[in-house]
Structure 1
């Protein structure tokens, strides 16, 4: 039976990471320009954000959902 060698993972600071390939670059662009805003709208519509405001004490009401 062969023994596998394990490579130690090294921590890389986030600022030193770049994604430049055509597949992931396009996905990140769409996410930052459209998907995040769409998701925020859905969270507002479903009262999820409102529930966090209630929990934080910013608003007095009953939590929904």
Structure 2
């Protein structure tokens, strides 16, 4: 493809630019996914690790 400034965009150049664009989009999606995973881990409920003994009424915490 010839432009008015004399710059031609060959097939190899088009493939390279496309590959670069796809890789940049993949990095952005990966970073967004990691951000979502961290946000989910912050708000998720974790067990407190309490154990109630049947012989006594005391509660053991770990």
Query: With structure 1 as the length reference, what TM-score do the two structures score?
Result: 0.33
Computing the radius of gyration from Cα coordinates, the structure with the larger value is 2
Say which structure is richer in strand: 2
Query: With structure 2 as the length reference, what TM-score do the two structures score?
Result: 0.34
Higher relative contact order, structure no. (Cα contacts within 8 Å, ≥ 6 residues apart) = 1
